[in-house]
Structure 1
């Protein structure tokens, strides 16, 4: 896993999942360094060893102070308990619903958790971060994280895309392919968008847009900065006006499993990982 810088004191820990008949879904976690370093999400189980090697190349375990879990899906929690074991000074920051669901699988030390809701703020050393409900989500505990110092919005699954090949920056992707994949992913994770009151949905988009983010970092997309942030918000505003998206019924299951097996093999030979 090759990390890369996406801003001052900010690094992406990138991976990807093959999506049959669609392309690759980026799967990113982010490390915000500074006075009290914060990790946003904790990678996939299939990437656990490579993820942790990359993480500890960027920050000493003794220095990590915060692990923001944007929601409880497994592609956001793969290394969570092992990171807690190696970083004794780190605390989890997450929503109470996510914490409850995490507790179904993991033994979470209660003294190492800070629960937050949309609208909450915390100080992490030299900066303040706040928490917000992103427009699209597939878990009720989902929260986006906004770093007020740098204007960075960590948007969880929301604002992601599916691409033929993953790229680091939206400018490196074909715009048509990016927004086609955007429409697919944001409806796939939130099929309920076809049923919602569009006016209420747009209020959520406007609330996130009103933060005036300088960059948007999705767990499932490349870095988006500058004027493209406006285009991203406009694309999200169209989602409730699109029909529901569902995968085709004729997906080649064998090909899908082969793709995932090939993806897992190089980084993690033993993918049957024990749970705590």
Structure 2
């Protein structure tokens, strides 16, 4: 097992690890994103067992000790399992996450106190790189959920949104909505709630140019339309669930 490295937007690198044992024969990818700048940021730390693989991959791009920020979509093993391992190798690094995530998990679980991000707050990485934090509670799951938007490249770091099976290219212009619907049908991983469509349409309103998926290929193209279509599917699921109640 090793990490495939691809630049999916200017200065944003996707570090992808495929695990064949999950959902065979298609397999499943775990993707982590390094955003370069004077103060680099790693989005998704990876599972603790993947730390040696990801440390080696990051080391091909920058010295790991240069990491300044560590962030992720929500508190879950594949998103932040190796958080403290990264804090140990990067002495200047801080975990950055929303208020709920820090309050319920990170203030206790992180070996150094995290930076609490307010909805809409920006982390400036230098060299024109600015990451805006957006609260997305319960979307797709976890009341602490949030995403990051890199303003210069127009890249939305989506976390578990658009999760899909298989591997494929690092960056695609093909449909990502259909595969995401199929994965939802299989895993039932989302916390269905009446606010899902509205929140996802809010992300569509940003009009990102690239969607960086944690599980599946990153997407370039009409990102707003993809987000609108995903929102429509979740609205239909919620309506069906309420009608059956």
Q: How would you bin the TM-score normalised by the shorter chain? A: 0.7 to 0.9
* 1:234 and 2:229 matched: yes
8 Å Cα contact 2:6-2:15 kept in structure 1: yes
**Distance (Å, rounded) in 2 between the aligned partners of 1:107 and 1:224:** 31
- More deviation, 68-77/144-153: 68-77
1:107–1:215 CA distance, 2 compared to 1 (3 A): closer
Whole-angstrom CA distance in 1 between matches of 2:119 and 2:215 = 21
Match of 2:179 in 1: 181
2:105 corresponds to which residue? Answer: 101
Aligned residues of 1:26 and 1:166 also touching (Cα < 8 A) = no
**What TM-score does the superposition give when structure 1 sets the normalisation length?**
0.74
Quick one: distance in 2 between partners of 1:61 and 1:21? 33
Equivalent runs, 1:104-143 vs 2, <5 Å = 106-110=109-113, 113-125=114-126, 126-134=128-136, 136-143=139-146
Which structure has more relative contact order (CA 8 Å, sep 6+)? It is 1
Helix, strand or coil at the partner of 2:66: coil
Consecutive unaligned residues in structure 2, runs of 5 or more: none
* Structure 1: gaps of 5 or more residues: 245-276
- 1:201 offset after TM fit, Å? 2.9
**Whole-Å separation in 1 of the counterparts to 2:79 and 2:59:** 17
Give 1:186 deviation, angstroms: 4.4
Instruction: Choose 1 or 2 for highest CA Rg.
Output: 1
Match of 1:58, SS? coil
Please name the residue that 1:26 is paired with.
29
Question: For each residue in 1:111-144, what CA deviation from the matched residue of structure 2 results, as whole angstroms up to 9, or x when unmatched?
Answer: xx21113322232223322111348322111110
Alignment deviations for residues 193-221 of structure 1 (CA, whole Å, 9 cap, x no partner): 2xx33xx4332122101111010102112
Looking at structure 2, the residues matched to 159 and 133 of structure 1 have their Cα atoms a distance apart, in angstroms, of 17
Partner of 1:57: 60
Deviation of residue 75 (structure 1)?
0.3
Deviations 1:216-271 (A, max 9, x none): 10211211112255234323322231357xxxxxxxxxxxxxxxxxxxxxxxxxxx
Q: Superposed, which structure 2 residues align to 1:71-110 within 5 Å?
A: 71-99=74-102, 100-102=104-106, 106-110=109-113
Deviates more, 1:226-235 or 1:67-76: 226-235
SS of alignment partner, residue 23 of structure 1: coil
How many correspondences in the alignment? 231
Contact 2:71 2:96 in 1 (8 A): yes
Distance 2:181 2:118 in 1: 27
> CA–CA distance in 2 between the matches of 1:51 and 1:66?
16
Over 6 Å off, 4+ runs: none
Between the aligned partners of 1:114 and 1:239, the Cα distance in structure 2 is: 32
**Cα distance, 1:107 vs. partner?**
4.6
* Contact 1:127/1:147 (<8 A) preserved: yes
State TM-score, norm by structure 2. Answer: 0.83
